[in-house]
Structure 1
Amino acid sequence: MSLDRFVSLWPEQGSHYAEQVDWLVIGFTGMMALFVVPVFVFLWIFVFRYRRGRAALRDHRPDGSLKVEITWMLLPFIGALVLFVYSARLFFEARTPPADALEIQVTAKQWMWKFQHHGGQREINTLHVPAERAVKLTMISEDVIHSLFLPSLRVKQDVLPGRYTQMWFQAERPGTYDLYCAEYCGTDHAAMGARLVVLSPSDYQRWLEGAGDAPSLAAQGEALFRQFGCSGCHAVASVTRAPPLQGLYGRSVALADGSRVVADDAYLRDSILLPQKQVVAGYAPVMPTYTHVMDEEAVARLVAYIRSLADTPPDPSPPHTEDPQ
């Protein structure tokens, strides 16, 4: 069997971002070699020339060049500054997903990866995405800290319990790529792997159509919204008044302590599982917690439903400040 099966001189590049990261690593390594290699070369030259017993001039009078010293300081500084600007641009790019990115919910659990598409398709340890399109992963863990790592795309992000983290990528070429957990998470950490299957846009559309006719993630969230009785307080016609959800997502919300917060995914999740954490101004803190009642996948569906109400005009009626109990 060929040694190339076990040793790869250069990792596979599955995206344009991976190429940029590789050039950054090459540039940094080259600059380090440019300034470190001469030091070791001259070190061995001097060791050989001035070894014991060899006749050599050992006059230690000071002798230097200001131009050489300034050049030796400026060149590393300029090189480091160029690498800093380049790496800062890559960091900003990696943390700024495009507005039209395809969103997928990721839930990590010992020892598997669960993926939920907004069309309702669900996968375990396999993720299908289209090529040449930005994909944003909104991730959370059900137990311990995990880390989603796609070495071929040069992207990695920790997945934390109780907190959403995000990562995005754009695979340029169809193919199958390895996905790993890069954070030790327990006994079977080494077996917590998955596959990223990148399809052409037409093949991806066919995969979506063949993956089942399950309701969309938002529709599943609406079913949970009614199943758990959320509509009894948050629906427009409900008797018990609670903060309206129509037009809520992405809006600034005034809290009882006088602060304001943007109603994003993290805020909505905390409002479901930790309702006393950020109480909306004008409403009594009477909502029960759904911790240990809903898992993270159910919460993601509810959040998707509330997000679907973003374009609905908010309820213009004033809030009820009295305690409904």
Structure 2
Amino acid sequence: MNSLFRLPEASTHAVTVDHIFYLLLVLSGATVVLVFGLILLFAVRYRRGSAAKRGPMPEILSREFEIGWTVATLLTFAFLFWWASSADLSSLAAPSGALEIHVVAKQWMWKTQHSNGAREINALHVPLDKPVHLLMSSQDVIHSFFVPAFRVKKDVLPGRDTDLWFQASKTGTFPLLCAEYCGTNHSMMRGKIVVMRQDDYAKWLVQQPEGDDLAHEGARLFVSRGCSGCHAGSSNVHAPRLAGLYGRAVQLADGRTVSADDAYIRDSILQPKRDIVAGFEPIMPSFKGLLDDGEIQSLTAYIRSLGEEQQND
């Protein structure tokens, strides 16, 4: 297996992670050399029978040495904490305009779907030098989406949406692994990330088998599952309207205010009585067990598209 030193830095995040790792390695090595060097020095200089002067260190020198060592250690720790935490925080929120791709994990494969409906299994094609935002969920147990060359890893959880973003900086094919023990064939849950130049990616995407995009698929589910009977604009049922909902602040009956993001929509579908919208009765049934994660992602994409249409209007 390749060591970290031979792994390519294939994303913008990988460069920062490696620089932090190398600095920690240098500091750790310097500390080990200093400590063992002093041990060796003192063992030789103050060995039994040596003429080295012994006695307590002058109090003022001892105090300054202790203060200086403590301050230096504190400042080093503070710098490392700031650098590592800022790198992690910057990797949490995907930049606006990122390419959105949906990922569903199951024993023992990765299923991915692009915004135009193109699907892949155990593979993901992405463009070079463009942010890619992955919206992920699991159909069974906890998995972990891990791309060593990108230095990114995120748990993929059942019953909850997680997301991850990266920006590939090198073309090529890179391993995709599951980093969480997920069952008997965990070691076989492998895939690949194929990074292509943007024009090549556009050609590849066009050549994929035609498929409706997620929003259109969600629109069909919205009707076939009976959601339109209550949430459509023409419905006589007193239920929240969905046009312009996504990303908006929602006032709840218990006084809380939440943001209508992917997690809120998922919870509203599976646990509709948990967050009741102010002014509405808790009459919506739960769709838990009736919709799989792929269908929930499609419905979410449809509701998101209603929000985008509202903004464009």
What's the TM-score once normalised by structure 2's chain length? 0.92
Secondary structure at 2:308 match in 1: coil
Choose which of 98, 101, 105 in structure 2 pairs with 1:104. 101
1:276 lines up with 2:278 in the alignment:
no
State the distance in 2 between where 1:93 and 1:104 align: 20
- Tell me if the contact between 2:9 and 2:149 (Cα under 8 Å) persists in the aligned partners: yes
* Residue 313 to residue 151, structure 1, CA distance change in 2 (3 Å): closer
Sequence identity percentage: 45
- Tell me if the contact between 2:12 and 2:166 (Cα under 8 Å) persists in the aligned partners: no
- Tell me if the contact between 2:98 and 2:130 (Cα under 8 Å) persists in the aligned partners: yes
1:22 lines up with 2:18 in the alignment:
yes
Structure 1 equivalent of residue 160 of structure 2 = 163
Deviation at residue 221 of structure 1 after TM alignment: 0.6
State the distance in 2 between where 1:42 and 1:177 align: 45
Deviation at residue 94 of structure 1 after TM alignment: 0.8
**Residues 257-303 of structure 1: CA distance to partner in whole angstroms, max 9, x if unpaired?**
22221111111111111111112222221212111111000110011
- Tell me if the contact between 1:235 and 1:244 (Cα under 8 Å) persists in the aligned partners: yes
Secondary structure at 2:103 match in 1: strand
Deviation at residue 36 of structure 1 after TM alignment: 3.0
State the distance in 2 between where 1:8 and 1:62 align: 45
Structure 1 equivalent of residue 264 of structure 2 = 267
Deviation at residue 223 of structure 1 after TM alignment: 0.9
- Tell me if the contact between 1:242 and 1:283 (Cα under 8 Å) persists in the aligned partners: yes
Structure 2 equivalent of residue 218 of structure 1 = 215
Choose which of 219, 231, 253 in structure 1 pairs with 2:250. 253
Secondary structure at 1:238 match in 2: coil
Secondary structure at 2:193 match in 1: strand
Deviation at residue 68 of structure 1 after TM alignment: 3.6
State the distance in 2 between where 1:224 and 1:307 align: 14
Structure with bigger helix share is: 2
* Structure 2 segments unaligned to the other structure (5+ residues): none
Choose which of 33, 36, 41 in structure 2 pairs with 1:37. 33
Choose which of 8, 11, 15 in structure 1 pairs with 2:7. 11
Q: Number of matched residues?
A: 309
Choose which of 80, 87, 92 in structure 1 pairs with 2:89. 92
Deviation at residue 84 of structure 1 after TM alignment: 2.0
1:291 lines up with 2:288 in the alignment:
yes
- Letter of the 1:115 partner, please give it: T
1:209 lines up with 2:206 in the alignment:
yes
State the distance in 2 between where 1:89 and 1:120 align: 35
* Residue 172 to residue 7, structure 1, CA distance change in 2 (3 Å): closer
- Letter of the 2:14 partner, please give it: A
Choose which of 71, 74, 89 in structure 2 pairs with 1:74. 71
Greater Cα shift, 81-90 or 289-298:
81-90
Deviation at residue 233 of structure 1 after TM alignment: 1.3
Structure 1 equivalent of residue 111 of structure 2 = 114
State the distance in 1 between where 2:238 and 2:309 align: 18
- Letter of the 2:196 partner, please give it: L
Structure 2 equivalent of residue 59 of structure 1 = 54
Deviation at residue 15 of structure 1 after TM alignment: 1.6
C-alpha RMSD of the superposition: 2.0
State the distance in 2 between where 1:305 and 1:108 align: 21
- Letter of the 1:241 partner, please give it: H
What's the TM-score once normalised by structure 1's chain length? 0.89
- Letter of the 2:119 partner, please give it: R
- Letter of the 2:268 partner, please give it: S
